[in-house]
Structure 1
Amino acid sequence: MFQIQQLIFITLFLSSCDTGKLTVIADLPSTLKEVSATETIPNSDLIWVIEDAGNKNNIYGLNTQGKIIKDIDVSNASNIDWEDLTSDNLGNLYIGDFGNNSKNRDDFTIYKIANPDTDKAIVIAEKINFLLPKDMKSEDFEAFFLFKGYFYVFSKENKTSKLIKVPNQIGKHTAELVTDFNLAGKHHKITSADVSDDGKTIVLLNHDKLWKITNFKGDNFFKGTIEELKFDHDSQKEGICFKDNSTVLITDESDSKLGSNIYSFKLN
């Protein structure tokens, strides 16, 4: 009887860990139920995460075992709907507060956190605010990255999506429309994005796949080579960042059966 029970347990365990091309690095902390983004920064061994709307205005630095090492309160920020993280080569972290599920926001904020890999428990962020272009209707945004002095922000749509850009300058700006775009196939809502440190590869995340973009010139991203890479694993994946130029880290939110993990995924 014990051997049968043991066999059943092993079978269930293997089924629950079937991540289809994804490698589980660690569990996310049980206290973080709605992790909406992940990012690594230069000169830090930590994996930085945030939660989205309705949660604390805090950033968390995790070690590779998923333990919270840093818990930093961004004292002058409100978590209206924090959706993505990006960083620069100086170690500054940027929070994209531009989630807009109801599509009624007209003012969006990017918070700049100077070198969070310090001992401070409370920080004051600098703010980059932006409005949408004059003739652009309100959109839901969940993904962005920093590239050559601009934040590139992607709308979350199943049909035609929009890419806008905002200068990385403290103050208030009007975003510039870069392009409308469509990705081939169904279910292409973009939940997170990143660009590699060498600036040659872009990744756009979806729940069951990502798009790898290479061979682009300037910010004509969608005129580059676009590859759809499927995970064979479907969960609410909300965060992606580069670990190195050929490997990404991915996080997903918790639900009753799947999620609440940090994964590694090879692009090549």
Structure 2
Amino acid sequence: MASAADTSPNLRVRRSDDRGFSDMGWTDNWMTFSFAEYHDPDWVHFGPLRVMVENHIQPHEGFSKHPHRDVEIVTYVASGTLTHADNFGHTATITAGEMQRISAGSRGMIHAEENHHDTVEHNYQMWLVPDRAGTTFAYDQKKYTPEERQGRFRMYISPDGRGESMAINTDAFIYAGRFAPGDVVTHALGKGRGAWVQMVHGALTVCGTTLEAGDGVGITAADRLEFRVAEDSEVLLFDVRMDVPRLWT
């Protein structure tokens, strides 16, 4: 009988060019999972991670007011500045290396996301399905400097807001880090959990698979991930419970 140590990880690789794509003129949408008019039955979600869209918003453009409800929205800005405004009175700027977390709540909220500046804004936005009904609106954002993120995964989000992280209404830990060539970093993965690794830029190898800018991979049946970095890299890491109840699919 094979031991747990003999079990090979299960990998689902999503190459950058295989993602869904739409060009709206003022922004592009690179969609890892089915979203809006793009639908691929093989790519719907990874645990509670339901939406992942990479955007490059042109100067003085953006998403005008629009509603959301029953969703946890996480936005990570890679470069530029994103300005947020919502109907609960929050106005904020999110800059490079900063992560924003919004619980839209069961009653919903309305917000706008715009680039008010003269340079292109680059972000990843993720939607996660809450694991409970009746959530309320909540807003938070957190930033680490490049030095604080260098050579390690910094935890921005956790289910219970542990340490200095932001709390989220589902069983997910979300990290971001910057790495240099030659760095070797590990991450422990608990039983019943999966990891989604998303390359913002650079190149590295994880579980024997090489990832480059825009690539992602879902990993299950692993207890430890080892990252070997080949180029200056920026990486998002999602550690999620795979059997978490989902309010919508």
Fold equivalence (TM over 0.5)? no
TM-score range, shorter chain: 0.3 to 0.5
Q: Which one has the bigger strand percentage?
A: 2
Query: With CA pairs under 8 Å and 6+ residues apart, which has the higher RCO, 1 or 2?
Result: 2
Q: Which has the larger radius of gyration?
A: 1
Provide TM-score, normalisation by structure 2: 0.33
